[in-house]
Every structure is written in structure tokens, then in C-alpha cells.
Structure 1
């Protein structure tokens, strides 16, 4: 199967499964990329990190994946495949949702989807964390970053860049 068709099918499915946002599909995306396209967990974490630093939606990181697999055309295929299906689905489900107004089952569905979304996002955070925390140094940097973002008003981008720079120097010095 052509890599472009494989990219389109894979990212279309991920798009529809992204209940609660793109973070919800990170574990599945990571597994899929490793099995179908040879992108290992370390490369995935690096691509994810770029997506977190880039302005705009962090899931634009999928463009980097498409580019790495099939060049500029691959990036375009992944862009359309990942964002269009969920956009159409949201548009039409949103129209249907508004049509039913304040029916009691509407709130029941919302109440059921909320913990599912939180669980899926948590699994995404776990998957990226598991692939990222490869040593005591990376664990310490993660805890330090978490603390700084949670307890201070420092811009998270500066915390990420500072931790990355400090980590690079520290790892280079210790190895």
C-alpha cells in the first residue's frame, strides 16, 4: 500500500478517535507510527516537543510526521486527513446537538463523555511521559518543569526551552 494512502487512512482514523482533543490519541498515534512508519518513541517525543513549542494548535505536529514519512505531499495528506474528518464530524454533530436543545439525555451523554475524555488525555500524557523519562536527569527535569509551570507565572514556553537547554548541557557534561 502506498505510504500516502496509509498516512491518509491512519490519520483519518486518529482524527475521528480524538475525543477530547489530539492528546487523547497520542498513545495510539505513537504505536501506529512505530509499526507502520518506523518512527520510534524517541523520534515521536521529539516531534511532539516541537508541536508543543510551535505557535498555534499543538497537534500541527502531525505535519512533521507526514513530512518525515513522505515529504511535503505527506505533510499535506496528513494535514487534511487529521483535521478534516473531525471537523466535519464536529460540525454536523454540533448542529444535531443544538437541534435537541435541553433534552435530558443530552446532559447524560455529556456526563458520560467527560470522564472518557479525561481518561484518554491522561493516557496521552502517560504515553509521552513514559517515552520521555529515560533517566534520572530527564525525570528531574520533568519534575522541575512541572513545579515551575504549576507554582510560578513563568511562561511555559520559557520553562520548556530552559529545561531543554539545561538538560542538553547537563547530559553532555555527564556523558
Structure 2
């Protein structure tokens, strides 16, 4: 079943407008996997993993999901929908931010938003884990990757390659 390009465009525009730092994985999963049925949990996890190793924003996986929903036209519609409206909003926000930077309450607002961001990111991690960790070995690779990223200065790309090689060797 191929989705209509306009449906893909509007769906991804809505997802893009509620994305903050790529941390809306629960909503992406709800819409694309559960509601629309355009992708599987495994494809969701694979797309995000691919986005981590590709240059550019990690949410380029949206192009991958659009392709799954509607071929090349779906990929274009998803990319335009996800990034177009937010690019326009970003340009407008930069203008407003320059004006707001003089307000004395702005640092407090930024500090208040940090715990929210951490919570949203954690929810995204749980969605990704649910779709990609299916064995004790997979859980161990995930935990080791987390520990290396958190406690060392090892380049994330090296950890990704190491995890991929280890996963292949273990047959995951």
C-alpha cells in the first residue's frame, strides 16, 4: 500500500512542528507505526541508527520513512513536510530571539526547559530501545555504548562501528 503524497507531506509537517531536538520518538512511533502503519518498529529503529551514522541531522531518517510510505515521491514529501515549516519558523524565531535576549527572565526560562528536554529525550530512548533491543546481547551492547558515550571521550562514530561489528559477529 502506497500512501498519498499529500498525506505524507501533512503528516510529516505535523511531526516536524512538534519535534524538539529529535526527541519526539514516541509521537513518531505512534503516528508512523501504530496509526498509519507506514513503517515497522524495526524500520523505525533502523532509520534512526542510519541517521546517527550519516552526516547531517539525525532526523534525516524521516526521508527514509517517507520512502517506505510512498517511494521516491514519498521521500520528497516527507523531507519537505518535516523540514520546510520548521525552517521557516526557525528564521522567524531567530528574529524574535534577538529581541528577547534583552529580557532578564530569559535565562530562567532556558534553565526551566532543560529538565523537560531531558525527559523528552529519555522517552525517545525508551522507544528506540523497545524497537531495537531483542536479546541480552543487544542489551549489553546498548549498555556498553551508553557507558562509553557517557564516561569517555571516544568518538561516537567509532562506538557505532564497534557496536555494528559486534552485533554482526553475534548474529544480532
TM-score by length of 2: 0.87
**Alpha carbons 2:66, 2:75 under 8 Å: kept:** yes
Alignment of 1:88-127 (within 5 A): 88-127=88-127
Alignment of 1:37-56 (within 5 A): 37-56=37-56
Partner residue in 2 for 1:26: 25
Q: Partners of 2:5 and 2:89 in 1: how far apart?
A: 23
Partner residue in 1 for 2:68: 68
Partner residue in 2 for 1:15: 16
Following superposition, the deviation at residue 111 of structure 1 comes to: 3.3
CA shift digits 1:32-58 (9 cap, x unpaired):
111203311111111111111111211
Partner residue in 2 for 1:85: 85
Following superposition, the deviation at residue 158 of structure 1 comes to: 2.1
Q: Partners of 1:57 and 1:148 in 2: how far apart?
A: 22
Q: Partners of 1:148 and 1:118 in 2: how far apart?
A: 19
CA shift digits 1:9-45 (9 cap, x unpaired):
11111111112x11x1111111211120331111111
**Corresponding pairs, count:** 170
Q: Partners of 2:113 and 2:146 in 1: how far apart?
A: 27
Structure 1 spans left out of the alignment, 5+ residues? none
Following superposition, the deviation at residue 167 of structure 1 comes to: 1.5
Equivalent residue of 2:171, what SS? helix
Equivalent residue of 1:104, what SS? coil
**Alpha carbons 2:38, 2:68 under 8 Å: kept:** no
Equivalent residue of 1:37, what SS? coil
**Alpha carbons 2:42, 2:132 under 8 Å: kept:** yes
Aligned residues: CA RMSD: 2.1
Q: Partners of 2:59 and 2:124 in 1: how far apart?
A: 12
Following superposition, the deviation at residue 169 of structure 1 comes to: 2.1
Q: Partners of 1:38 and 1:80 in 2: how far apart?
A: 18
Judged with a 3 Å threshold, the aligned counterparts in structure 2 of structure 1 residues 92 and 168 are, in CA distance, closer, same or farther, namely: same
Runs of 4+ residues over 4 Å off in structure 1: none
Q: Partners of 2:89 and 2:141 in 1: how far apart?
A: 39
